[in-house]
């Protein structure tokens, strides 16, 4: 079939519909390294502007750390640019095994397998370890990549209300006739910034003979006293059967992910997980950078401690200034607007004032829950945060939403 | 014995409304298109129907349209001899 005018118009109409619905995504070009100060052109082609970045997953500020860049350069020189192979043919170098070992030690698990991304880890792990005799019971707010991975797996799917332990217990009781019950949760939920009640989840898993799966992508490196993740924070190190996480956020921010956990499960992934079997090995330069990251964060908690202080300052400043935020303790701090257009207009005002943050609305978050998701970084210095806070409060005053209740904001702007 | 229509309505309210939720669910309330049930959590509704009525709903029939209201679900159940 050729690409006819009719075919072209099918896609053209769909794209136009997205624009009309206000959900067409546009990229912004960044002309600098990832950092707390970045040089941006938005829309693409517009004049470049230096702004403070409040929306990167660069939690530990390691994306452009000189030691990480140096290690990546050395890896590039010694191990080359690419491997031109999947892992099990001729794509495994000594450094891939070394990184898997270091991640295992850092996460406190039995074994680890690298994937090209955590999206791939989540896409592959369920199908590799579960069958139609089993059941997956997931928190309703887990990341989209988990939803996709579950859909690729033949095990029965069920869900429980977000962080509702009584509801999870009901579901575990309902599925006692299954061979394996797998409870599935994020550690830190990416849109709301709250943490899973992992201690309670482990307790229920032990009571009802279930395994626990944790996606800790928004926690690895900085949640918990030594940054091991949500399992450290909740006092259940060593009790999580499957952890997936990413190298694409706090751990240097380049790419790559992993499944870490019980050694038999990791081995099943090596034998059966399709994104591992059929896509290229993680590039040597990325592996070399990640090895340095693990060394840096294993030596000192300085960066996660600074991130914790930045988070406390930011949450306190926004709350005392009169904006509504989702309560919590993580560096993901959603500033609530409820109305989609308000969140977009607020973000535009911030950008004009030199602050880069993005509005999220349905279908990324539930209807009536529009927000600007801010994310803190150890790369933020106090002057960045003071300037950003000032801009948020100025915008809040301009839109007259300071010290207003949720109902008052909705009454002014709609839901 | 409780009829299917009431059993499904009761389940949807308990399963999908949070404590303090001010949304109202009646027989004809749009569930999927109304944002009460999303395409992911819809799997729980399918598990409930299959377990309660001892039926197997093929994926081809478990569509967002078929699950979009209690009335639609009841129509779907009739195809499996459940009233």
Per-residue pLDDT reduced to its tens digit, A290-319: 999 999 999 999 999 999 999 999 999 999
CB-based contact (8 Å) between B44 and chain A? yes
Choose between A200 and A368: higher pLDDT: A200
pLDDT(A367) > 90: no
DSSP labels, A316-381:
HHHHHHT--B---SSSEEEEEEESHHHHHHHHHHHHHTTEE--EE-TTSS-TT-EEEEEE--TT--
**Can you tell me the distance from the alpha carbon of B73 to that of A135, in angstroms, rounded to the nearest whole number?**
23
CB-based contact (8 Å) between B28 and chain A? no
Return the pLDDT at B23: 83
Chain A from 349 to 388: CB within 8 A of any B CB: 362, 366-367
Q: What is the pLDDT of residues B9-54, one digit of tens each?
A: 999 999 999 877 778 899 999 999 888 898 899 999 999 999 999 9
Sequence-distant (6+) residues with CB within 8 A of A189 are A139, A141, A162, A195, A196, A218
From chain A, the residues in CB contact with B51 under 8 A are 174
Cβ–Cβ below 8 Å for A159 and B43? yes
Is residue A26 very low, low, confident or very high in pLDDT (cuts 50, 70, 90)?
Answer: confident
Choose between A53 and A28: higher pLDDT: A53
pLDDT(A247) > 90: yes
**Can you tell me the distance from the alpha carbon of A204 to that of A303, in angstroms, rounded to the nearest whole number?**
34
Return the pLDDT at A199: 98
Q: What is the pLDDT of residues A253-296, one digit of tens each?
A: 999 999 999 999 999 999 999 999 999 999 999 999 999 999 99
The dihedral built from the CA positions of residue A374, A380, A386 and A388, taken in this order, carries a sign that is: negative
CB-based contact (8 Å) between A313 and chain B? no
Q: What is the rounded average pLDDT of the residues A123-152?
A: 97
Q: What is the rounded average pLDDT of the residues A44-49?
A: 88
Q: In this structure, which topology does domain A22-53+302-413 adopt according to CATH?
A: 3.90.1150
From chain A, the residues in CB contact with B40 under 8 A are 138, 140, 147, 159
Cβ contact A53:A356 at 8 Å: yes
Return the pLDDT at B1: 54
**In which residue are the tokens 């509702």 written?**
A164
From chain B, the residues in CB contact with A156 under 8 A are 47
Return the pLDDT at A213: 98
Domains of chain B listed by start with CATH number:
4-78 (1.10.1200.10)
Q: Is it true that domain A66-299 has CATH number 3.40.640.10?
A: yes
DSSP labels, A248-266:
SSSS-SSS-EEEEE-HHHH
Main-chain phi, psi angles of A300, to 5 degrees: -150, 150
Main-chain phi, psi angles of A35, to 5 degrees: -165, -170
Domain limits of chain A? 22-53+302-413, 66-299
Helix (H, G, I), strand (E, B) or coil at A41: strand
Return the pLDDT at A13: 97
CB-based contact (8 Å) between B18 and chain A? yes
For residue A367, the chain B residue with the least C-alpha distance is B35
For residue B15, the chain A residue with the least C-alpha distance is A161
Q: What is the pLDDT of residues A184-222, one digit of tens each?
A: 999 999 999 999 999 999 999 999 999 999 999 999 999
Is residue A337 very low, low, confident or very high in pLDDT (cuts 50, 70, 90)?
Answer: very high
Instruction: State both tokens at A27.
Output: 């990229």
The whole model's pTM is what?
Answer: 0.95
From chain B, the residues in CB contact with A141 under 8 A are none
Is residue A22 very low, low, confident or very high in pLDDT (cuts 50, 70, 90)?
Answer: confident
Question: Which of B18, B40, B51 is the closest to A159 by Cβ?
Answer: B40
DSSP labels, B22-54:
-----TT--STTTTSS-TTTHHHHHHHHHHHHT
CB-based contact (8 Å) between A161 and chain B? yes
Is residue A27 very low, low, confident or very high in pLDDT (cuts 50, 70, 90)?
Answer: confident
H or E element that contains A115 = strand A111-115
Return the pLDDT at A96: 98
């Amino acid at each position: 079939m050729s690409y006819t005018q009719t075919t072209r118009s099918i896609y053209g109409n769909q794209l136009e519909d997205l624009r009309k619905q206000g959900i067409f995504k546009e990229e912004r070009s960044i002309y600098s390294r990832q950092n707390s100060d970045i040089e941006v052109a938005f829309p693409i082609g517009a004049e470049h502007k230096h702004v403070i970045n409040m929306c990167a997953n660069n939690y530990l500020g390691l994306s452009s750390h000189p030691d990480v860049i140096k290690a990546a350069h050395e890896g590039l020189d010694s191990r080359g640019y690419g491997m031109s192979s999947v892992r099990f043919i001729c794509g495994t170098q000594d450094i891939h095994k070394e990184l898997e070992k270091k991640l295992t030690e850092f996460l406190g698990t039995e074994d680890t397998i690298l994937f090209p991304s955590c999206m791939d880890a989540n896409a592959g792990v369920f199908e590799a370890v579960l069958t139609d005799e089993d059941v997956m019971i997931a928190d309703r707010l887990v990341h989209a990549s988990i939803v996709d991975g579950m859909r690729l797996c033949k095990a029965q799917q069920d869900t429980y209300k977000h962080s509702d332990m009584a509801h999870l217990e009901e579901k575990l009781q309902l599925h006692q006739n299954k061979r394996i019950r797998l409870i599935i949760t994020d550690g830190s939920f990416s849109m709301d910034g709250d943490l899973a009640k992992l201690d309670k989840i482990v307790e229920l898993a032990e009571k009802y003979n279930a395994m626990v799966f944790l996606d800790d992508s928004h926690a690895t490196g900085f949640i918990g006293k030594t940054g091991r993740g949500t399992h450290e924070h909740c006092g259940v190190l060593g009790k999580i059967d499957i952890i997936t996480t990413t190298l694409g956020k706090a751990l240097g921010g380049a790419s790559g992910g992993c499944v870490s956990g019980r050694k038999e499960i990791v081995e099943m992934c090596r034998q059966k997980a399709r994104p591992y079997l059929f896509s290229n090995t993680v590039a040597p330069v990325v592996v070399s950078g990640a090895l340095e990251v693990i060394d840096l964060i294993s030596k000192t908690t300085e960066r996660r401690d600074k991130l914790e202080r930045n988070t406390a300052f930011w949450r306190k400043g926004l709350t005392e200034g009169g904006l509504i935020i989702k309560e919590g303790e993580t560096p993901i701090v959603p500033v609530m607007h409820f109305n989609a257009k308000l969140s977009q207009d607020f973000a535009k005002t911030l950008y004009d004032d030199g602050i880069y943050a993005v509005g999220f609305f349905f279908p990324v978050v539930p209807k009536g829950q529009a927000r600007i998701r801010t994310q803190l970084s150890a790369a933020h210095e106090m002057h960045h945060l003071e300037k950003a806070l000032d801009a948020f409060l100025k915008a809040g005053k301009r839109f007259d939403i300071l010290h207003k209740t949720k109902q008052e904001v909705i009454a002014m702007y709609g839901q | 014995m409780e009829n299917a229509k009431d059993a499904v309505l009761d389940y949807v309210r308990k399963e999908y409304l949070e404590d303090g939720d001010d949304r109202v669910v009646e027989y004809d309330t749009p569930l999927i298109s109304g944002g009460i049930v999303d395409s992911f959590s819809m799997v729980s509704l399918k598990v409930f129907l299959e377990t309660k009525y001892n039926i197997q709903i093929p994926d081809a029939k478990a569509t967002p349209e078929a699950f979009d209201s209690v009335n639609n679900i009841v129509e779907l159940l009739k195809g499996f001899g459940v009233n």
